[in-house]
Chains A and B, each alone.
Chain A
Amino acid sequence: AQKVTQAQTEISVVEKEDVTLDCVYETRDTTYYLFWYKQPPSGELVFLIRRNSFDEQNEISGRYSWNFQKSTSSFNFTITASQVVDSAVYFCALSEAMGGSQGNLIFGKGTKLSVKP
C-alpha cells in the first residue's frame, strides 16, 4: 500500500530562519511521482514541484529547495530565509505511475508552517 507520512504537524519559525519540512513515503512501485503542494488559508492547493522516481537530482527554485533520497524514501522541502508569506499548510503527495501516467494523489496529513515577523 502507498503511504505518505509528514511527522511534523506544526512548525513555528521567526522570519529569515531556514526551515525543513520532512516527508517520508512508502510504495511498492518502482515508478512513481512525488509532489509538494502549498495550501494557504484561502484553501486552494498550489503546486510547487513534481519529481519522478528516476530523477534523484535535488532542485532549487529561489528560496525553495528539495532533497529526494530514494535510499531513505524521503522527499524533504527546505525554505531558506523564510517569510511571513510562506505561512501555510504544506502537503507532500505520492502517485503511482500508470503506464507512465500519473495516478491519483495520496497526500500526507500536512505540516502547518507559521512564520512570525
Chain B
Amino acid sequence: DAGVTQSPTHLIKTRGQQVTLRCSPKSGHDTVSWYQQALGQGPQFIFQYYEEEERQRGNFPDRFSGHQFPNYSSELNVNALLLGDSALYLCASSLAWVQGRKKDTQYFGPGTRLTVL
C-alpha cells in the first residue's frame, strides 16, 4: 500500500523565484492538504484540495497557490519567493468518505525541504 509521496526531497531557490512542489496521495485517498513547517515549529495549514477545488485555506498570501489533478495528486506553487518561505513543506492525504461516513484522518508524506537564498 503506497503511502504519501512528495517530490522533490530538497530544493534550493533564490529570492524572487517561483517553485512547484508535488504530492501523490496515499492509495485510495481523494483529499490533499498542504502544511508549512518552519524550523522548530509545528506545521501550519496552507490549504486543502478536494474534487479539484480549494476547500479551505489558512492564513497564507496569494503567492501560495495549488492545484489538484483528476488522479488526486496535487501541486503547491509559491511565487516571488522570500527568505521566510524556507521551510519543510508537508503534504497530507485523507479520504473524505468511507461507507457513507466521513473518515478523514490525515496521513503525511516525508516533506520537501525548501531553502531560499
Contacts and interface: CB of A to CB of B under 8 A. Distances in A.
Interface of A: 4, 35, 37, 42-47, 50, 91, 93, 99-110
Contacts, number: 57
B94 interface: yes
Contacts of A109: 40-42
Interface of B: 33, 35, 40-45, 48, 56, 58, 88, 90, 92, 94, 96, 102, 104-111, 113
A105 B111 contact: no
A102 B104 contact: yes
Given A43-B113, A101-B96, A106 B45 contact: yes
A31 B57 CA distance: 20
B102 A100 contact: yes
A91 B43 CA distance: 9
B56 A103 contact: yes
A4 B42 CA distance: 10
A102 B56 contact: no
Nearest to B58: A104
A110 B107 contact: no
8 contacts: A47-B108, A101-B96, A102-B94, A102-B105, A104-B45, A105-B33, A106-B45, A109-B41
